Structure 1
Amino acid sequence: MSAGSETAARPEVVSLGCRLNIAESERMQAMLGEAGDVVVVNSCAVTREAVRQTRQAIRRARRARPDARLLVTGCAAEIERAEIAAMPEVDGLIANSAKLDPRSWNVPVAETPAPLTRTRAFIAVQNGCDHACTFCVIPQGRGRSRSLGIAEVQREVERHLEQGAKEIVLTGVDLTSWGHDLPDSPSLGILVEAILNAFAELERLRLSSLDGIEIDEQLCEMLAGEARIMPHLHLSLQHGDDLILKRMKRRHSRADAVDLAARLKASRPEIAIGADLIAGFPTETPAHHAANLSIINELDIVHGHIFPYSPRPDTPAARMPQVDRAAVKARAAELRDAVKAHRSGWLAGHLGTPLAVLAERDGTGYSPSYARVRLPEGSTVGEVHEVIPTRIEEGVLV
């Protein structure tokens, strides 16, 4: 947001990190309303780099709004609480578990829903995590897994559709664990089916990062055959070597990921595979790294989130033998290059092919398989346009 004189007295929420944070930031922005000269940094702590970026955002916000009350919430405000609180720019911290409670901000409970701020509506249906991956600090910041009930999710979907959303994105810290804490432990597939059955007018439903080993049979069948579910599968994969996966305390094997992708692509060839991959996990040898590289080829990963490993406080992996930092950086670069090569070929395969693209406010939009497309001038924001890309510029179809 601009820090110009006209907006200096209005609240601003700065969001870092995951799609769940984006969804929560939008709710906070609406909740704060006309609360005055307040800046909130909704922080991330998934890696040391994320914490560094949080600190940068705090300093940048203070320079832009020197007289504002600057508050920090999010995972870094939990996990690095003492360090963030000690920053001279920070006026206070809001607990992650309390950031969507109006009482935390001394504002009244909103009588009207938050306005839709983007053409794709992000709905946080799950929060927290019950797993204990050896590298991950997020359960410290988010707590145990909690799920919204089906009726509550449907109310959120209905609200966004009424405001004109054409695409709904379901998000969560561990989205595939949705329902495990609810009566009768419904699966994510049951939630997805309930949404699609209730809203025939919903054209596009997208799922954020999924733990492949937790994808239930019902959801797998819908991913393979339901046209309204976007053909875009982003896996919380983390590595391509079985020994490293065991040391990470992941619950899937390399073969599990390969089999899932092969099964889905056999039924729906256009499905695009994305994945989170960690480079330089403790004890990772060159052979382990080679397996990590090769799974990019085997799964044809075209949407890659590459994380150089960084030790996080109070995690088992931080006590394991560490890989040299220069090697971690070099291996991350190799993984990124491999994904970039696959992505380039994948994008080239779209040239000359009609795509249904949902227009965003910046003149671009996303195809069903999450290819970013620069749209012709004058394309109506929030509408789905059929376009035929003719070239690629800086990784974007034009």
Structure 2
Amino acid sequence: MKKVAFYTLGCKLNYSETSTIGRMFEERGYKKVEFNQQPDIFIINTCSVTENADKKCKKIVKEANKINPDGYVAIIGCYAQLKPKEIAEIEGVDAVLGAAEKFRLVDILGDFVKEPKEIKTSAKVFNSGIEEAVEYHTSYSLNDRTRTFLKVQDGCDYPCSYCTIPLARGKSRSDTIENVVNAAYKIAESGVKEIVLTGVNIGDFGLQNDERKETFFELIKALDEVEGIERFRISSIEPNLLTDEIIAFVASSKRFVPHFHIPLQSGSNKVLGLMRRRYKRELYTDRVAQIKKLMPDCCIGVDVIVGHPGETDEEFLETYNFLNELDISYLHVFTYSERANTHALSIKPVVPANKRNERSKMLHILSDKKRRFFYEQQLGKNFSVLFEEDVEDGLMQGFTENYVRVVAKYDPLLINETKKVSLISINENMLVEVDEAHEAEPAFAYH
């Protein structure tokens, strides 16, 4: 029985796909092991959102070669679609598979026989044009962690100036509601309590063969009826696709939690235009206000990019002040990095690297302040926490419905269980300490 190990770089979507490909291997008789357990085959699922993701791929390949010099190394994912020839030249790589091939890698690569070094020139490349990536593959993570990432949509039709995802994943396409609901029931049977819905542009759910057959709103209504899952969480949704009806539904639903992650990217309308985003900051302000009106304790996360070409000091400060005044909970800060074949490369002036880094630091500090303030607002209230399996120094962690990370004394009975708690204080590690909840009203009276 050959042993196979996986390493995933990048987003939740990649994790869902890696887990699904892993189950395909197990169904064929392979044994799934940890990366450091002398596997015969290494599968590395890559990301290419930033330059660092590319560097990480090379580092993981080097480590795989060190663990087992005779191991077969195959690279899949976004980096593999965008730069297959570059990866093929990395020492120790045996195969590179693009977006249209990655779910067929067991069939394509056969017995995973490594070519002798003396005759091998470079890795085998199986990489169709991105227009060939039209099939949809149902994917979800399982047995990897307390929460499961369930892919509902893939690809993107938005030509944002800085982004390579349409080039790496192809057109927007979706699963069917029926398939997603069936997958959710399978996940529930495994004992998982929380599902995170993921995709490239999940608000665009419903496109099948370039026709809109269903909608994201119809999907979440169907999932809200799935017995056995206690929580559904929406991973990320574009502000122009986050409608009033979606917000109102989450506020009154049985299983969808009050937590939204909404990409902003810039608080300057001029920079949003340069980025080719499909909204202005006024819409974003309106979305946040609507959420907080219906769900005052809702957690709102924000993606923001600093240093995009053309972003002046004044426009960055416009973004900083906009975020500072907005009722949000945390930021995911991305420093712009040049990506081949993107429109942003033609925009001038280019922001120097030292300025990009300065702006990133400022927003990371702001994010810490926002998170602390959000946590402080929740103290003294009761929530339910889903506790996770990771235990360190006799302590275990978990998340409330509204994404507050809490810490409690380890109790094996609490792993993968939800428990009503009262939030007491914030410790030095920015974790919230808890006590058993008394019979007071829960924080989410609107649920």
TM value normalised by structure 1: 0.91
Residue number in structure 2 paired with 1:72 = 75
Deviates most, 253-262 or 363-372: 363-372
Residue number in structure 1 paired with 2:292 = 265
Q: Distance in 2 between matches of 1:287 and 1:114?
A: 43
The alpha-carbon deviation at position 367 of structure 1 amounts to: 1.2
Confirm or deny that 1:103 pairs with 2:107. yes
Residue pairs, 1:328-343, within 5 angstroms: 328-343=356-371
Confirm or deny that 1:383 pairs with 2:410. no
AA of the residue aligned to 1:257 = Y
Q: Distance in 2 between matches of 1:154 and 1:226?
A: 16
Provide closer, same or farther for how the CA distance between residues 314 and 184 of structure 1 changes in structure 2, counting only shifts above 3 A: closer
The alpha-carbon deviation at position 114 of structure 1 amounts to: 8.0
Residue number in structure 2 paired with 1:358 = 386
Q: Distance in 2 between matches of 1:374 and 1:64?
A: 35
Provide closer, same or farther for how the CA distance between residues 323 and 106 of structure 1 changes in structure 2, counting only shifts above 3 A: same
- Aligned residues of 2:18 and 2:141 also touching (Cα < 8 A): no
Q: Deviations over 1:71-108 (max 9, x none)?
A: 1101011112221111002111122233223524548x
Q: Distance in 2 between matches of 1:115 and 1:339?
A: 31
SS in 2 for 1:295: helix
Q: Distance in 1 between matches of 2:182 and 2:368?
A: 39
Residue number in structure 2 paired with 1:31 = 24
- Aligned residues of 1:45 and 1:75 also touching (Cα < 8 A): yes
Q: Distance in 1 between matches of 2:141 and 2:366?
A: 41
Deviates most, 239-248 or 360-369: 360-369
Residue number in structure 1 paired with 2:203 = 176
Q: Distance in 1 between matches of 2:407 and 2:428?
A: 9
SS in 2 for 1:388: strand
SS in 1 for 2:73: strand
AA of the residue aligned to 2:369 = A
Deviates most, 47-56 or 94-103: 94-103
Confirm or deny that 1:166 pairs with 2:193. yes
- Aligned residues of 2:258 and 2:401 also touching (Cα < 8 A): yes
Residue number in structure 2 paired with 1:187 = 215
Q: Distance in 1 between matches of 2:48 and 2:378?
A: 36
SS in 2 for 1:11: strand
Q: 2:229 aligns with which of 162, 187, 202?
A: 202
Provide closer, same or farther for how the CA distance between residues 16 and 269 of structure 1 changes in structure 2, counting only shifts above 3 A: same
Deviates most, 378-387 or 84-93: 378-387
TM value normalised by structure 2: 0.82
Q: Distance in 2 between matches of 1:300 and 1:266?
A: 11
Provide closer, same or farther for how the CA distance between residues 125 and 318 of structure 1 changes in structure 2, counting only shifts above 3 A: same
The alpha-carbon deviation at position 397 of structure 1 amounts to: 2.0
Q: Deviations over 1:116-149 (max 9, x none)?
A: 3322111101000111001001111101111000
AA of the residue aligned to 1:189 = F
Q: 1:397 aligns with which of 423, 432, 439?
A: 432
Confirm or deny that 1:52 pairs with 2:55. yes
AA of the residue aligned to 1:383 = E
Q: Distance in 1 between matches of 2:12 and 2:142?
A: 18
Higher RCO (Cα < 8 Å, 6 or more apart) = 1
Q: 2:340 aligns with which of 313, 326, 332?
A: 313
Q: 1:240 aligns with which of 267, 273, 283?
A: 267
Q: Which runs of 5+ in 2 are unaligned?
A: 32-38, 112-139, 391-395, 434-447
Q: Deviations over 1:244-263 (max 9, x none)?
A: 00110000110000000101
Deviates most, 10-19 or 215-224: 215-224
Deviates most, 169-178 or 65-74: 65-74
Q: Deviations over 1:292-322 (max 9, x none)?
A: 1123223333231111001100101012121
Residue number in structure 1 paired with 2:119 = none
Q: Deviations over 1:43-98 (max 9, x none)?
A: 00011122222222222232233221111101011112221111002111122233
SS in 1 for 2:398: strand
Q: Distance in 1 between matches of 2:177 and 2:185?
A: 12
The alpha-carbon deviation at position 272 of structure 1 amounts to: 0.9
SS in 2 for 1:292: helix
Aligned pairs, number: 385
Q: Distance in 1 between matches of 2:418 and 2:65?
A: 39
Confirm or deny that 1:94 pairs with 2:128. no
Residue number in structure 1 paired with 2:354 = 326
Q: Distance in 2 between matches of 1:156 and 1:299?
A: 37
